[in-house]
Chain A
């Protein structure tokens, strides 16, 4: 395998990881707030906080890992994205900062503040919307290079059908993934009341998810035909993804095997995300950066890959330990352990 491909694969895996763990977190924030407004917080909020409390910082690191790695493997992306995205990037940062710190303030400090929960819920939807525009921009047409500087065409973005379809997909899939996961967590905790509610959410958000995916397909055809055609070549990825979606929803509908159902949710997004990624290549940013031209030098590439492999030896056992403590430990999940 080329080192470039290896590099982008590593990054893509981490972005996928972030997609899953962050969706759970973002969606949970929304459900927590919604639960509070509809006075059902006593049913679901303890489940949510039991899962989120130990892992929120880890979620953030997935994100940091992705963008630091991107600049490491493909320094040119820093130049184009950095110059173009100062404003949207800063806004996303402020939202992330508010969200992260207020989670900690609310959860470890001042308990039960309505305002903190609201911020936590609202940012849970705004952040995926704003982060998803980075992917939208990668399709080209929203960045222009003029007289040696890079400009971001905001109006194009705001009036593009494609960009709104992506935002829509980002938001609904966040809610879908999160509800699916929390259903699994509730079933594991044997908390039937919470399960019933969360299962409803999961089923409610599944049709919009698939609808939004189709919408994005259609919109991409209008926006970047080359990528769309590539995607058609890789259509088996998307077919597999669709099959996984059906299995997951069917299991939840039948009210059984929530763990398996969530694995299928993860597979659904794995196939779709990698199908999207593979067909995006060789471009990282249409038409300016390809993985060959944008790649760092050979020496750094090798050093990064070695560091990555060495890092995995550290990370995988630690992540496993974390999951064992909080995901697979029945007593903790059921809430029968003290802090």
Chain B
């Protein structure tokens, strides 16, 4: 067990806040896209079902945004509070995207405010829809910018280090580092995917509880089509992420794959238990698949963990997280494909109890995949906070009070999470769709 010094506690508190923020942030990035899409379809087809859908999603969205905003404010300030030495160094190189991110927030916040309170203000309904576009752009842009910061931590570029002094800083090169393309696109596509599945899961649950109706059928179809598109995108981009790792952070991939010896035609190990001697038991070996994931060539050479000093590699439990993330990704892609096939060739089957319950499970699973993915990616970077530049322990605060702050924030998130859920439940219970139809027809 590592000891609980202020560096370790800072890691725990950062993980806690980010682990909580990322759930709401993911929905914050993805849900506006679905809202905007639904409203647009509603206007185009003159179909009030879709417009009500957009309204109802928006109402729930406001509550999750609020939690996203306040936890985001927490993590934003905590970066300075918990990692002062890191921020002092990194801030000089990577301040630009952090700063740009706040512009994206501004943009999003302003238009979200307008969007929420102008549903019936315009003669031409497209004007209201237009207001959703900056919200989508703003939230996706903020995900992009913050991902570049994280990418920079994995692949620091755009500066020189002379005796601890940072020189020759190039902000744009730091921002568009080798990790940026895969990082940002994977984060954004998974945010869309997860949001689609969360909304689909809610819809499927309501169908199971209240019975089917045209409104729910449209909602389910719309969310599942979206989910399908981004599930495929996620798997493809995830594959590119693996290739990025193989090229730039081979020890992270090796640790995730329990790949110890450098070899050609490497197997992909799924699951398993690691014995004392580095022997993998009970794992499922997929022949040559690791070489394919790493280089797109079944016989390519994949660097093994033994090439690296032991104190510079990540804890090996990340293997399970990696497997779980990929497993969930494959499952989500398969589920949305089956749904679409059924709705095309076996009308009605896609609303069978089995499929609906599977979709209900897929929502939370997608959120879990987000958590697994992040923990894998962050722990997999250890012991570095800035890969091969600065170790995590050197970035942390020296304050003695981190433990108490951990308890404080833990309590805060328990309260926020709990009340957020109960408010959402209450909102939908007190305001069923049926009354909304009546209001719309007035």
- A interface with B by C-beta (< 8 Å): 53-55, 57-58, 60-61, 63-65, 67-69, 71-73, 75-76, 78-83, 85-87, 89-91, 93-94, 96-98, 100-105, 108-110, 149-150, 296-297, 299-300, 303-304, 307-308, 311, 314-315, 318-319, 321-322, 325-326, 332, 337-339
In residues 49-95 of chain B, which contact A (Cβ within 8 Å)?
59, 62-63, 65-67, 69-74, 76-85, 87-89, 91-93, 95
Interface SS of A by simple majority:
helix
- How many A-B contacts if CB must be within 8 Å? 222
Does chain A have a CB within 8 A of B238?
A: no
User: Hey, which chain A residues are within 8 Å of B397, CB to CB?
Assistant: 82-83, 86
- B interface with A by C-beta (< 8 Å): 59, 62-63, 65-67, 69-74, 76-85, 87-89, 91-93, 95-96, 98-103, 105-107, 109-114, 116-121, 134, 166, 169-172, 397-399, 401-402, 404-405, 408-409, 412, 416, 419-420, 423-424, 426-427
Query: Is the Cβ of A339 less than 8 Å from the Cβ of B73?
Result: no
Query: Is the Cβ of B70 less than 8 Å from the Cβ of A72?
Result: no
Partner of A297, one of B73, B112, B169: B169
Q: Tell me the bound Cα distance from A102 to B117 in angstroms.
A: 19
Q: Tell me the bound Cα distance from A334 to B416 in angstroms.
A: 34
Query: Is the Cβ of A82 less than 8 Å from the Cβ of B69?
Result: no
Interface SS of B by simple majority:
helix
Query: Is the Cβ of A90 less than 8 Å from the Cβ of B70?
Result: no
Query: Is the Cβ of A58 less than 8 Å from the Cβ of B103?
Result: no
Query: Is the Cβ of B117 less than 8 Å from the Cβ of A71?
Result: no
Most buried by A among B70, B110, B399: B110
Contacts A79-B87, A304-B95, A326-B117 known; list 16 others, CB within 8 Å: A58-B106, A61-B102, A64-B102, A65-B105, A67-B76, A68-B101, A82-B397, A83-B397, A87-B404, A87-B405, A89-B77, A91-B408, A97-B412, A101-B70, A311-B106, A314-B106
Show 20 residue pairs from A and B whose CB-CB distance is below 8 angstroms, ordered by the A residue: A60-B70, A67-B76, A68-B102, A73-B95, A75-B89, A76-B88, A86-B397, A86-B402, A87-B405, A89-B77, A93-B78, A97-B74, A101-B70, A101-B416, A108-B63, A108-B66, A109-B426, A300-B96, A321-B110, A326-B113
Query: Is the Cβ of B80 less than 8 Å from the Cβ of A303?
Result: no
Query: Is the Cβ of B405 less than 8 Å from the Cβ of A108?
Result: no
Chain A residue nearest to B110 in the complex (CB): A318
Query: Is the Cβ of A103 less than 8 Å from the Cβ of B66?
Result: yes
User: Hey, which chain A residues are within 8 Å of B118, CB to CB?
Assistant: 325
Q: Given that A75-B87, A83-B84, A300-B169 are contacting pairs, would A110 and B423 also be in contact in the complex, using a CB cutoff of 8 Å?
A: yes
